[in-house]
A and B are shown apart, each in its own frame.
Chain A
C-alpha cells in the first residue's frame, strides 16, 4: 500500500474570464504522511481538495497518485467534507456501509468493525439528525476509512466542535491512522490543530492561492499541546501566518488600486 500524492495545479479559474483562484501550486506528499494546508477562509482550499478528489475538473494541471493520474472520483481518495455529509436517510451503520462495495462479502463486517472502533456501537441505528457534531464526525471518519483508501482528504473536519470533542476526534483519527495507514491532507485555519496532527504544514497565500512556506513538524507523538515545544512551534507558524497575511492584504490593495487605474484608462 503506497499513497504517494503529487499535486500540480498550473491554474484554476471558476470562469474563463475570471481571476485565477489557484496558480502554480505544486505539492508532493510522501506515502502515509500527514500534511496540513493552512490559510484563511475563502482562498480556495476546499476547491483544491475537490480537485484532488476528482470532483472538480475545471483546472489546468495534474494530480498523480502513485504515478497514476486521478481524473475522476475514486475510492482510493476519500474526502471528509466539512459538514461530514452523512446521508440523512441512512443510519450511522448504513452510512458507513454505504462506502463499502455492494457485492463485497466483508463490507458488513468492516462497517461493524469501524463503527465499534469509533465507539458508536450503541448508536448503530441512530439517524444522523440525532447525532451530535462529534458523533457525526466519527461516523464520517469511519465511512472514510472503511474502504481502505490510500489518501484521506479532510476539509476542516474539526471546525465548529468544542475543544474536548475536537481533541477526542483528533486522537481517534490518529489512532485510526495507526490501525490503517493512509496519506492525509488536511485543510485547516487553526495553527494548533495543524501542529497537533501533521508532519508538515503548508502555509498558503491568497489570490491566487499558492504555497508561501512549508514547515516540517518534528515533534514526537503523541503530542502534548501544553508542552513548550508544541507552543513554540505554534507561535513560530502563527507569527509567519500573521506577517504573511499582512503582506498579502497590502499586496491585494495595491492590485485593486492598479485594477481601478486600468479600468479608468
Chain B
C-alpha cells in the first residue's frame, strides 16, 4: 500500500467535496437532468475557460476588474487606517465622527449605489468608489479597534524614549495594529470582489468591461458556457488574491505570536 504524506493527504481531502460536486454536476448535465439552455457540463466549461484564457479575452476583463478592486481596496484601506489614527489621537474628532461612522458602517455596500451614481454617474470612478467605501468602513472599524488595543505599556515606552507623535505612530501604533488591519484588508478584498462583480454586472454599457460585465453579457446573449467560465474564473481570482494577501500577511507580521497568526500559518 502506498503511504501518503500527512499534509498531501489533508490537501487531497479538501478536494473531495468539490470533486463530488463536479462529478454530480457533469453526470446531471449528461443525463439531461438540467435544462440545456441554462446549464453547461463542467468538462465543457473547462475547455471553454481554457480557450478564453488562450485567446486573452478573459485576461483583459479580469485585469479591468482587478485594477478596480485593487484601486478601491487600497484607497479605502488607506483612508480607513488614516481616519482611525486621526480619531484615536483627537478626542473631539472622535466624539464628532465616530457615532456617524459606526452607523454608516452597518449600511450594506450596495445601498451606497444610488448615492455614488448621483455623484459620478456609472463610470470608472463609481466602480472604484463602491469598492473603496466597502473597504473604508471595515478597515476603519478594525484599525480603530487594533490601535485602541495597543498596550499602554508600549506607548509609555515611546514616551520614555522621547519619541515624537509621528514616530510613535510609525514605530508603535501602526505595527502593533498591523495584524488586525491586514485581517480587515483580507476580509475586505473578498467583499470587494462581490461589490465589483455586482456593479460590473449591473452596468450594461459596452466599454465598461470587467469580469462581471463579461458574465452579464454572456448571460444576455445566451452563451451559457462563457457565463459559467467567467464565474469559475472569478472564484479562482478571489481565491488567488486572498492567498496572495495571506502570503503578504505571513511576511509582514511574522513577529506576531497570537492565535490568529497561528491560524494564518496553518498550525495543526
Contacts and interface: CB of A to CB of B under 8 A. Distances in A.
Q: Which applies to chain B's interface (DSSP): helix, strand, loop or mixed? A: helix
A53 B175 CA distance: 25
B172 interface: yes
Interface string A199-216: 000000000000000000
B256 A88 contact: yes
Contact of B255 (A74, A78, A88): A88
Tell which of A55, A89, A127, A147 has the most Cβ of chain B within 10 Å. Answer: A89
A247 B154 CA distance: 39
What's the interface size class on B, roughly? 10 to 19
A87 B161 contact: no
Contacts of A83: 153
Interface in A100-129: 102, 127-129
A195 to B, nearest CB: 29
B93 to A, nearest CB: 25
A87 B257 contact: no
Nearest to B166: A102
A102 B253 CA distance: 23
B162 interface: yes
Given A85-B154, A87-B154, A129-B255, A73 B167 contact: no
A127 B254 contact: yes
What's the interface size class on A, roughly? 20 to 34
A128 B153 contact: no
Nearest to B257: A129
Interface in B136-165: 153-154, 156-157, 159-162
A59 interface: no
A4 B96 CA distance: 48
Listed from nearest, the 10 A-B pairs whose CB atoms lie closest are: A89-B175, A129-B257, A73-B159, A127-B255, A73-B160, A89-B255, A88-B255, A99-B161, A75-B162, A85-B153
Interface of A: 53, 55, 72-75, 78-79, 81, 83, 85, 87-90, 98-99, 102, 127-129, 147
